Amino acid sequence: MYIAVLDGVPDFMVPTLVAHSVINAHMYFADIDKLCTDEFDVYQDWLENSFKKVVLRVNRKEFAKISELPCWLGHENTTLNAEKSCAVVLPMDDDERPNVLKFAKMWEPVNENSN
């Protein structure tokens, strides 16, 4: 599962943003009525057999591309004027993964000493 965080989100808010977005994405992805059968099966397989996740720091152009994929878009009311800033992408097979996910940078704090 790829979790893309917009680079304008302050580091101290990223854990909260990701936690809220992932739990909401899980509730959305696990609801078979909202997904076609193939997507539901892929999600269930990931949930039961993989559960791997990676958090990415992306710019606005990358975020826009990622937002077009099957995903959940999350936000925090107190950050970036409550704009969507976290995309939790529906897990997919490696051969389906677009370049924007393959080449995005993994998230790390801008300032390692930030609180």
98: left (phi over 0), alpha (psi -120 to 50) or beta: beta
Residues 6+ apart with CB under 8 A from 54: 1, 2, 3, 106
Which of the four CATH numbers 3.40.1490, 3.40.50, 2.40.50, 3.30.70 does domain 2-106 have?
Answer: 3.40.1490
Span 31-63, pLDDT tens digits: 766 556 677 788 888 999 999 999 999 999 999
Q: How far is Cα 71 from Cα 65, in angstroms, rounded to an integer?
A: 11
Residues counted in the chain = 115
pLDDT at 34: 59
Span 65-91, pLDDT tens digits: 999 999 999 999 999 999 999 999 999
Domain ranges across the chain: 2-106
Alpha-carbon 51 to chain mean position: 13
Angle between helices 14-29 and 37-49 (to 10 degrees): 130
